[in-house]
């Protein structure tokens, strides 16, 4: 009720009619102002998840938020001069100064971000996974109340970067027996026929079919994963982290490319259907596995 009165009072101009440019939807104090904007990518598409930060004259953060699914941001804020910045992965930071008045609505309108040029596709060539700076991890639900974290310690991967980055290709082979969750008894069970059956299927393999550019540093890498002799399509949500030359002792200017990928697998798709339940019918192991892959690959000479 109080907020409703505030909204009516704030939005009314002379004669009680709505005053254009003043927010009438945020429950804000009478002595504050409102800032709104909508963020788009380089193609003019709405950009959710962009970080919007405001800093006051004393260089102290005065507001912070994330754009919603429509790329929109709105906040109430104290009157005065603020520096507003917008950042998102793969884009150059946008920055501007805004003056906020008492009971005033500052509409920045549409803000279109520009791609970060440092994330240009890598130089064509053959890149091999650096095992010391690459991790293949997974997370699995356990008895409906916790999660088991694990990783594969032994693997080999190659990225063949094509002239047209979309035509590039990835091949990965994982030693299934190298699974490690920190508990030997559990790891031995995971290697058994109930799960990975490493005696008959020693390797897990992934081969990409297609790279699809979504926006800025975001890509979708489609391919096929073979596990326990069963092959299924998989789509990796991938963030491209760029290409760098690593100068340092023992590295001699290695040219490296990096990315971070995630995917969710269903156990039953690969016939990993071992089932055990607690007394109340709660499954010991959940039906899905979340993968998280962080890759650094070095260009082969």
Per-residue pLDDT reduced to its tens digit, 105-125: 999 999 999 999 888 889 999
Are residues 108 and 131 located together in one domain of the fold? no
Are residues 138 and 68 located together in one domain of the fold? no
**Helical segments of 148-227, H only:** 184-191
Residue 12 belongs to some domain of the structure: no
**pLDDT tens digits, residue range 15-38?**
333 344 444 455 566 788 999 999
Q: Which CATH number fits the domain that encloses residue 90?
A: 2.60.40.10
Residue 6 belongs to some domain of the structure: no
Six-digit token string for 261: 């990928």
Could you give the CA distance from residue 274 to residue 191 in angstroms, rounded to a whole number? 12
Are residues 234 and 168 located together in one domain of the fold? yes
**pLDDT tens digits, residue range 50-86?**
999 999 988 999 999 999 999 999 999 999 999 999 9
Q: Which of 144, 137, 190, 136 is nearest to 287 (CA)?
A: 144
More confident residue, 266 or 223: 223
Domain that holds residue 111: 33-115
Six-digit token string for 106: 């500052």
Max intra-chain CA distance, the chain: 82
Pairing of strands 33-40, 72-77: antiparallel
143 pLDDT band (50/70/90 cuts)?
low
Domain boundary among the residues 115, 145, 164 is at: 115
Are residues 211 and 265 located together in one domain of the fold? yes
9 pLDDT band (50/70/90 cuts)?
very low
Are residues 291 and 270 located together in one domain of the fold? yes
Beta bridge partners of 169: 160
Are residues 91 and 138 located together in one domain of the fold? no
Are residues 226 and 238 located together in one domain of the fold? yes
Residue 276 belongs to some domain of the structure: yes
Q: Is 193 helix (H, G, I), strand (E, B) or coil?
A: coil
Residue 123 belongs to some domain of the structure: yes
* Tally of domains within the chain: 2
Six-digit token string for 260: 């971070």
Are residues 138 and 256 located together in one domain of the fold? yes
Comparing 116-120, 189-193, 227-231, 292-296, the range with the smallest average pLDDT is 116-120
* DSSP state for residue 142 in the 8-state scheme: E
Residue 15 belongs to some domain of the structure: no
CB 265 within 8 A of CB 206: no
237 pLDDT band (50/70/90 cuts)?
very high
Are residues 126 and 272 located together in one domain of the fold? yes
Residue 13 belongs to some domain of the structure: no
Q: Would you state the pLDDT for residue 88?
A: 95
How far apart, in Å, are the Cα atoms of 64 and each of 16, 51, 67, 103, 119? 33, 7, 10, 20, 26
Domain boundary among the residues 87, 115, 143 is at: 115
Are residues 94 and 123 located together in one domain of the fold? no
Q: Is 9 helix (H, G, I), strand (E, B) or coil?
A: helix
CB-neighbour burial class of residue 228 (10 A; exposed 0-12, middle 13-18, buried 19+): middle
CB 196 within 8 A of CB 289: no
How far apart, in Å, are the Cα atoms of 105 and each of 54, 247, 253? 15, 50, 52
Are residues 154 and 175 located together in one domain of the fold? yes
Domain boundary among the residues 80, 115, 150 is at: 115
Residue 225 belongs to some domain of the structure: yes
Comparing 127-131, 154-158, 252-256, 266-270, the range with the smallest average pLDDT is 252-256
**Mean pLDDT of the region 213-232:** 94
Residue 205 belongs to some domain of the structure: yes
């Amino acid at each position: 009720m109080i907020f409703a009165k505030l909204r009516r009072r704030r939005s009314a101009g002379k004669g009680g009619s709505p005053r254009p440019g003043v927010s009438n939807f945020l429950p804000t104090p009478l002595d504050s102002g409102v800032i709104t904007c909508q963020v788009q990518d380089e193609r003019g598409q709405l950009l959710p998840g962009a970080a919007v930060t405001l800093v006051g004259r004393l260089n102290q953060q005065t507001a912070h938020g994330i754009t919603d699914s429509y790329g929109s941001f709105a906040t109430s804020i104290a009157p005065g001069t603020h520096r507003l910045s917008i950042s998102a992965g793969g884009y150059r930071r946008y920055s501007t100064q805004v003056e906020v008045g008492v009971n005033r609505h500052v509409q920045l309108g549409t803000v279109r971000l520009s791609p970060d040029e440092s994330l240009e596709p890598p130089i064509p060539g053959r890149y091999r996974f650096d095992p010391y700076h690459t991790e293949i991890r997974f997370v699995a639900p356990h008895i409906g109340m916790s999660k088991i974290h694990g990783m594969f310690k032994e693997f080999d991967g190659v990225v063949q970067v094509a002239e047209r980055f979309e035509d590039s290709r990835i091949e990965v082979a994982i030693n299934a027996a190298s699974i490690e969750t920190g508990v030997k008894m559990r790891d031995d069970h995971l290697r058994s026929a109930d799960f990975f059956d490493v005696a008959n299927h020693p390797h897990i393999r992934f081969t990409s079919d297609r790279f699809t550019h979504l926006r800025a540093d975001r890509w979708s890498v489609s391919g096929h994963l073979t596990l326990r002799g069963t092959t299924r399509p998989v789509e990796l949500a991938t963030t491209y982290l760029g290409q760098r030359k690593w100068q340092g002792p023992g590295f001699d200017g290695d040219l490296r490319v990096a990315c971070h990928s995630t995917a969710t697998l269903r156990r039953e798709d690969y016939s990993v259907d071992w089932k055990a339940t607690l007394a109340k019918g709660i499954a010991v192991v959940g039906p899905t596995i979340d993968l998280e892959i962080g890759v650094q690959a070095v260009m082969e000479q």
